[in-house]
């Protein structure tokens, strides 16, 4: 008998798969991803730092956040009103991300080769009747619904602040030389993650990605791909393929989560179930 997963969505089914790729111009991949179909959890982390320390930071972010979050869900499930609102899930996700940040800061300070290492993080959890997204940095989460794509995460970047203030126009921001300058990342002494929550609906498609995708593939193109038939794995692979066709200047990570009706038994891709079990696939 399969163990009962606390908070597993009942009104929808979630199918998740992902891929991370070195790209065309980098020698190593400092991105890491996690796909946990059992807990309907996905994480993308884009590391930075010398001596491959970025890869260490992104893996720490994945490991600590997921372990703390999953343990917390099991504890939270003992409450009578568990998962009735998204509030406790947001609190739990924030504690998990903060825990990961402390671990990265500690490791960075204790090893010269890891000094200054950091990472972005974008985390997507489906639990109960809710989805919760938390992020730090400029790795993003999008939702495609009713033919429209919408960015749900918040970029913690200098350029986004200038756009909000009206100092720089959005179309100019995409070409600005300082567009990659981050105001927040795991590895800073203090961070303020951003969160958003809502109710997933059958037909929704969510995408977590590093900026290796969004720097070279437009939101409209991402939305076009998400609107095509196909399983999460093929969709993720298609987005990575497009990024590489457009030069692939950075590591590329994409995780796709499709929300299906609980009554639907049609499989959109024969290997999705196996592919979704891969915690961190690198090419």
Helix (H, G, I), strand (E, B) or coil at 24: coil
Residue 220 in domain: yes
Q: What is the CATH number of the domain that holds 179?
A: 3.60.40.10
Taking 60 as the threshold, does the pLDDT of residue 39 lie above it? yes
Domain that holds residue 37: 13-275
CA trace torsion 62, 186, 180, 235 (10° rounding): 20
Residue 129 in domain: yes
pTM: 0.89
Residue 4 in domain: no
Element (H, E) at 253: strand 252-260
Tell me how far apart the alpha carbons of residues 53 and 59 are, in angstroms, rounded to a whole number.
10
Q: What is the 3-state secondary structure (H, E, C) of 74-140?
A: HHHCCCCCCCCCCHHHHHHHHHHHHHHHHHHHHHHHHCHHHCCCEECEEEEEEECCEEEEEEECCCE
Tell me how far apart the alpha carbons of residues 153 and 100 are, in angstroms, rounded to a whole number.
19
Residue 282 in domain: no
pLDDT at res. 86: 96
Domain count, the chain: 1
pLDDT at res. 7: 86
What would the pLDDT profile of 73-100 be if each residue is shown by its tens digit?
Answer: 999 898 878 899 999 999 999 999 999 9
Residue 209 in domain: yes
> Mutual orientation of helices 232-245 and 219-226 as an angle, nearest 10°?
150
Residues listed for the chain = 283
Backbone angles phi, psi at 257, to 5 degrees: -120, 120
- How large a percentage of the chain has pLDDT more than 70? 83
Backbone angles phi, psi at 194, to 5 degrees: -105, 145
Residue 8 in domain: no
pLDDT at res. 112: 87
Taking 80 as the threshold, does the pLDDT of residue 281 lie above it? no
Q: How confident is the model at residue 177 (pLDDT cuts 50, 70, 90)?
A: low
Residue 7 in domain: no
Pinpoint the alpha helices (H) of the chain: 53-76, 87-110, 158-165, 170-173, 211-214, 219-226, 232-245, 272-275
Residue 251 in domain: yes
């Amino acid at each position: 008998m399969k163990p009962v997963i606390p908070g597993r969505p009942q009104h929808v089914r979630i199918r998740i798969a992902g891929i991370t790729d070195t790209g065309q111009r980098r020698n190593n991949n400092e991105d890491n991803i996690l796909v946990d179909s059992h807990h309907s959890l996905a994480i993308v982390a884009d590391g930075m730092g010398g001596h491959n320390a970025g890869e260490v930071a992104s893996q720490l972010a994945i490991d600590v956040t997921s372990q703390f979050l999953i343990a917390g869900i099991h504890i939270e499930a003992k409450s009578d009103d568990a998962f009735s609102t998204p509030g406790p899930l947001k609190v739990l996700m924030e504690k998990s991300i903060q825990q990961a940040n402390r671990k990265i800061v500690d490791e960075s300070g204790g090893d010269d080769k890891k000094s200054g290492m950091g990472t972005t993080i974008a985390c997507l959890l489906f639990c109960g009747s809710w989805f919760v997204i938390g992020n730090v940095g400029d790795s993003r989460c999008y939702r495609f619904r009713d033919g429209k794509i919408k960015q749900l995460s918040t970029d913690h970047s200098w350029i986004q602040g200038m756009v909000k203030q009206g100092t720089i126009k959005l179309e100019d921001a995409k070409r600005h030389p300082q567009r990659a300058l981050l105001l927040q990342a795991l590895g800073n002494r203090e961070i303020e993650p951003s969160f958003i929550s809502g109710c997933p609906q059958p037909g929704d498609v969510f995408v977590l990605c590093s900026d290796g995708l969004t720097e070279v593939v437009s939101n409209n193109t991402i939305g076009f791909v998400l609107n095509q038939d196909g399983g999460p794995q093929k969709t993720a692979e298609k987005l990575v393929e497009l990024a590489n066709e457009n030069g692939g200047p950075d590591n590329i990570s994409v995780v796709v989560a499709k929300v299906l009706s609980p009554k639907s038994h049609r499989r959109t891709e024969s290997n999705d179930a196996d592919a979704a079990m891969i915690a961190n696939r690198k090419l």
